[in-house]
Structure 1
């Protein structure tokens, strides 16, 4: 059951191991592992301190990088293989968990239909391996991690920022996070918060930042996004109007093309029938018949694909219209309470309507979503709504002036996309 060895071991395969795979201790890496466990379990250092110490000592990471990721150290401190108990089946695939937005570098719709979770302890298969650290040190590390996690949860009670989890960098793709900042001005102290890109934190990437995007005032960005959401809910019919304008420009042409495809399909089928009749009557030999039939069938397949695409487009047009109607119904329910909505209600509405907020160097783009069930987890005071599908898209762009005040520039587009039960705009 053994496969790739964790840091501190080397893997010996079944063939090289005389019929049984095993882990062997890598002395140089094992010394680093023991030092990491001692720093946390004995000295009480945090994982961030461990990463900084390893970088100062110029110890390469398991993948050869000059800096260590915190998740790498966290995974090592929780791995029971270091006390002599490797485990098989530590994870299992369960039902897919809903995500607020896609991760950086990941597709919007994952190919996997489930999510990976930790398996229960009784479901795992223990495999004895050579120990690197003592049981007492491993237990002390577990206690220290639990204390750190408890202290962190006590200092961060719930959501802190209105757009938390929705803001991403338009340049590097990393998420934005809220950063409080105190300013002293003429004897008074003022608490401000800024939205900052993770890619601008040099300490996360070995001392070199990967993004040059500037931080934004959180209250200004919150107001801009909330005002645009209120404008959308105040006049949701503008999406329908723009959609009808777009569709009217292509409806006549699309109808003519659809009729033409149907006529061509019937014509090709009649041609194939005539070729078969000619071959049966001996008017064509096999050498002439096969390439002509093959070419005709290839053309028929292509035309049938175009016909299916046209039919699917018509079906999606109906779904888009239904989705816009559902948006209008939701807007009618929440419009009266928008101005008096408290912080929690605003956050729920934003998470129900906004897919992500992309902050660029000179513009902010709000991407709205229309999901088959976007409001079933929303605030009860504003009702719930179930979508049956459809793709409607609305794009809003804001350009920042040098003074920091946003100038609103809005553009709309409606389009149809196939291949998923969820719809986004």
Structure 2
């Protein structure tokens, strides 16, 4: 029997503890129907899917290395993540450990069309998250404009009274004392030791340390400034430190290298896992090298050749050039109205075809029909003059049972997966088609939805899409990067464009995409 763990979460926005219990119930019912054994639960309460700061989620990812479960079961995909990049990243980690994500409410097959459907559903969740974020930002802006406290952690030096920041006189004196001593040359360690020796605690009730004091000196709220979404507010927090003193202390901290450092994320190889060598069938993997000038160059390299240089003659390919070439071609393909229509139809048909009526709902509906039939029988008898006390009591009982069944059926239907409409899916596809894909993260979400795999030769690239099961799009890799030929599956096989060792899966492409000659 397959084993699964359940991941559930609810955000603090208009959701409650009951949200968790409902998610767990639906997941357990799904597991029972699919003959899956639940071996654990991971629950994050009052945390959103747009952040990585979900302790039990991260623990689940780490625990997947132990190979103790085969699936992660979620109520809906937006419980896993509302960001396509994070979703792809964590699913890749789970896949590496032999674990796949399942949705209890969304019917997704484990094939190319399933990948496409999953991509669309996650994009819809991301759209909802972005829309909700805008509403929340508007609410925050209104509250800050009125000078209200908008939530979060307390700040040493202040209390919150009636949703407004007020100065805590004792703590404010401590804050000013810290700034003055630091300005006069006292070391941070000495300041920290003095605060702790005097028994003064942070707002969280813990001892002061290097981080808490450094954050205090860096915090602009102490001079009455609050920054939010590009705006600066001066009417929210009362200033308790002189601005000149604040600036001087921060300049000193910069010199003493206490400034918080930003971690620069490593540039992702967004074709990883989808790029294969056209000559030996091996995966193309990330490679980096440093030139004589010290500049770091990033490449994709045949893994077979990396292990044994004589095993394959495939040349390295510059990461940026290849990713830009594949991305530009994909955008040209996906942005066509005809292709958007095709994708919408595929997603709707495949998704809705998998929706099945739960046995419990069918039983309730059959029971309701039986009650209605009995009621109609009694009505016929009453119309013929057969009216007794027993008849009336029986009718009242049947009416009550019918009402109860109708309530249960309404509840079951509310739990059922709603069918997707073509108009809804097409609208979301158009929304994401109009997005600006300037970052690697944005490009990665596009790739994960639509590209099945890419086969790389020295003179051409084959892009296999999830949208069309018939043929790939072939582009040359010359200096002009033009698409010079369109191959059908037959042509591809005759020209050895798909070497032995590749598993044949759904391909893609559209006749007429930047081709030099029409294809019959």
More strand by share: 1
TM-score of Structure 1 vs Structure 2, range by shorter chain: 0.3 to 0.5
Length-normalised TM-score, structure 2:
0.28
